[in-house]
Amino acid sequence: MVRLGRRPPTPKGLTRNKTKWTDRWRRIRDGKAKGDWATPAAKKILRDALEDLTHGKCSFCEGRPRATGDVEIEHYIAKTTDIDLAFEWANLLPACHNCNRTKGNTNSPGTAIRPDEDDPELYFWINPANGELEALSDSDAEMAESVRLTVELFDLNRGELCVNRVLMMETVKRWLNRVREVGEEVSPDLEEELREFVNPRTHHKLALRQVLKQAALADLVELDRQRFERRAG
């Protein structure tokens, strides 16, 4: 998980239809009508806008949902808990099926870390031995609890994610070793690899940035953040 860029304005289609969509969902939840919480057309409007926020990835695990299906619409406060938040733009985040399903209707995320409000890099550390997310060693008890809660809420230490984080870290380490070997003359293929690392759509940015930070390459970390968060450098 890494910090997301500034949330774009509420999509026009949502502003126009919010009351209608909310009323429809209220009738369904109250058993007065049948159907999903949103129509396919409504979901498409929301999904298109949300994908933009994370460059098509899951807000929580940084995986690419397209590999296993569509991006899903995660309600940070569950849509069954507070109907008025079901179509509240600030309550919606893009998620993969696994993260969305694991959280389910948990309605009190408590002090869990939100990538659109917090900076997860101030909380998380990836254990290079097994790829698991842990609290940074200098975390206080409250921060450590937020990390534990967030990992549990979205099952962020599931096997496939840990494997992918380790793979990312090893790929970056190999690249760094090759850069060190060649010294000043960085070859086009090494540059091409770097462009791919800092591509906003590349997954597992937390893993990338952790290795770059350890190698004292703060400028590359900042470049990656700027591109992902769409800030000017």
> Which residues sit at the interface with Zn ion, rule CB under 5 A?
58, 60-61, 63, 96, 99
Q: What is the dihedral of CA 75, 76, 81, 87, to 10 degrees?
A: -40
Nearest CB to Zn ion, comparing residues 67 and 216: 67
- Directed axis angle between helix 188-197 and helix 159-182, to 10°? 150
In the complex, minimum distance from the CB of residue 208 to Zn ion, in angstroms, rounded to a whole number:
17
Query: SS3 for 217?
Result: coil
Q: What is the DSSP string of 173-201?
A: HHHHHHHHHHTT---HHHHHHHHHHT-TT
In the complex, minimum distance from the CB of residue 192 to Zn ion, in angstroms, rounded to a whole number:
28
Nearest CB to Zn ion, comparing residues 99 and 153: 99
Nearest CB to Zn ion, comparing residues 152 and 193: 152
Nearest CB to Zn ion, comparing residues 22 and 54: 54
Neighbours of 218 (CB within 10 A): 11
In the complex, minimum distance from the CB of residue 46 to Zn ion, in angstroms, rounded to a whole number:
17
State the sign of the Cα–Cα–Cα–Cα dihedral 173, 219, 189, 207: positive
Indicate the residue type of 105: N
Nearest CB to Zn ion, comparing residues 42 and 71: 71
In the complex, minimum distance from the CB of residue 55 to Zn ion, in angstroms, rounded to a whole number:
14
Query: SS3 for 105?
Result: coil
**What distance in Å separates the CA atoms of residue 197 and residue 107, rounded to the nearest whole number?**
35
Nearest CB to Zn ion, comparing residues 58 and 112: 58
In the complex, minimum distance from the CB of residue 76 to Zn ion, in angstroms, rounded to a whole number:
14
In the complex, minimum distance from the CB of residue 215 to Zn ion, in angstroms, rounded to a whole number:
27
**What distance in Å separates the CA atoms of residue 62 and residue 111, rounded to the nearest whole number?**
20
**What distance in Å separates the CA atoms of residue 207 and residue 17, rounded to the nearest whole number?**
39
